[in-house]
A and B are shown apart, each in its own frame.
Chain A
Amino acid sequence: MALADFFQKYPHDPKVWDEMHDADHVRPHYRNVCDFLSNIPVDELNRKEELARRLFMSQGITFTVYSSGEGIEKIFPFDIIPRIITAEEWRHVEQGISQRLRALNLFLKDVYHRQFILKDGIVPVDLIYSCPHFLREMQGVDVPYDIYIHIAGIDLIRDNDGTFYVLEDNLRTPSGVSYMIENREITKRIFPDLIPQNHVLPVTHYPSILLKNLMSLSPRRISAPNVVLLTPGIFNSAYFEHTTLARLMGIELVEGRDLVVENHRVFMKTTSGLQQVDVIYRRVDDDFLDPLVFNPDSTLGVSGLLSAYRKGNVAIVNAIGNGVADDKAVYVYVPQMIWYYLNEEPILKNVPTLHLSKPDEQKQVLANINKMVVKKTNESGGYGMLMGHVATEKEIEDYKKEILKDPRQFIAQPVINLSSAPCYIDGKMQPRRIDLRPFALCGPGGIEIVPGGLTRVALREGSLVVNSSQGGGSKDTWVINN
């Protein structure tokens, strides 16, 4: 049996934007791939799925779950059917993200210096000062080229008319880019020739752009600055990504214990003594970076790092204190920031968001809570979330109590019907909900976004939660040059 039948039976939900199919037809940019897949027997597709699984396993593209004293290797679920974006859609996304990042970067510079935006009353002062990620330690600190956000992973979703919305700005240590790269490598293996036939734009140059940007930030003007990637260590679930990026850029992968600060300079401990470090691409959260300033129990960071940073002796990527710009309550004001700093109309829309600290909005949310998604302002990874339309009454009551304790911590959004894309599950083509996280890089030369990104999939039928910690998977993401 070939897959053609399954495509004919592919269900269509009029309330959801499907990436492949409109009400009657396969969309033009999916046609090529659909024709190709229709001719493949199901057995062969199963073999390809198995091949993908083995490739992930043998290359150690896994994360380790530690239980009962023993590590169990898991792979991040991968769906073999690529998600396709047209060049036109991509241009829109690219322009929207770069506009947003320009504004957010100016906002960070402003909020840690003169604070015009607060004085002009565009963003409320108490909102900023009550944000736990607003770090007074960063006040008045000048960062190289005024760039705070070197790497951003902005999450986009599509509503039922196909419009892109920004769901979250991840401006601290966004992860997932190694899967963007590896997923593409796997597709090359399981569907040879399909990528060139479809004119898919490449993503493999991401590490070289990042390295170029990192080198350019070196405070010492030397030809070969020491750039390192700081990881929390092998127990971190994103450890695979840290090693991949370090290897692809040819930079040293260090842990906090490999570094030491002496006389406001950072050094790494090597077999031939101490060597000065110029640029740190850190994958450790602000709170754990320097036990002298932040969390004193942290063993992941380096004592004295912040003082070296403030003196300008080392560059840190992303800058410290970015959390104030991707706080979910501050998110509400990003469109105003774009108007304020750039005097441009925002290209990408925000999801309408209500903040529970405003009494009228709170009333509105509590009355309609079963049609809302309520989130904590500074949690990520799908934790601490209430999906009103599926929650039980008890869950809602408990959550309401939480909200009333500290309304600043909560926002609410209407349930957005994420778009769906075909996935190969249990030998059938089935629609599943997806999002999109493109990775944007800002350097002294401007903002660059490799065409593609990470498409996350909610693998459970009907689920709207795509986070990997909540049973999500991923897909290769193609931007095709049509």
Chain B
Amino acid sequence: MHAVSEIPSLPSVRGVVGAALRREWLSHRLNRFLYSHVALVLVVGALPLLTPGDGFSRGAAWWLLHGVLYAVSLSSLLLGLSSAHAEAEEYVWIMGQPAGIGPWLTGKAAGLVLLTGGSTALICAPVMAMGGGTRALAVVTVGAVGISAVCALVGFALGFWVRDGVRGLIAVVAGWFVMLFGVDLLLLALAGAPWVQANPDVWIALLMANPLDAFRITVLFSVERAAFSGLGAGALTNWWSANAVMWLGVLCLVWVMLGGLLAWLGLRRRTDDV
């Protein structure tokens, strides 16, 4: 009886998630990547201040769109990759824990999303500090946080699938090129195909599924309200134009969950390899 009482109880799922989350925070505090990301976000956030006169507030969305597309997205991907590779030497030990990898991965991913998204929220700070806070700025900031979280989780998942540091870096940069340029170029190439022209909703759905394109469309046609001559493009386009912000939110949520799932599969694959 006495021996039975000495068997340590299994840690609760909640306890493992909390511990992994705290460790993620500690790890990022010591990792210079996070500080670089914060610095980059602040520089991007200050870009609207380059607008002459008092136009920085009106032009903020345009500046932040390009800053997020071309800089913050890549930085977030790298941050995710770095996070995935941070405990590479401890994988065997982690896999052997009785709670399993699910709670640990959940806590780690949650910590990554909170840190990446939270630091990206600083993107609005420079304009707000200059008194340029607007609803458009708020929408763009929330969108930037979502894109940042998605990219971090994509980098996180890639990190578990590609364990080698250099190959992981190449994979992340390649993935960034695909999201940023590849989808657009592919769609541009497909646009002339008779089947695509007969079924534009398929083409549009592919565009809608890319978070960077969804963010661009949201900022251009919903926040900036750029006059768009293609409104006769069909019901799906019209729906997207009218509900761009909501769609971006749903899409980011789906991509975050997908990123987490892919990370879990990647980690499991590693377990099988071991």
Asked whether A and B interact, the reply is no
Q: Contact residues of B with A, CB < 8 Å? A: none
Q: Contact residues of A with B, CB < 8 Å? A: none
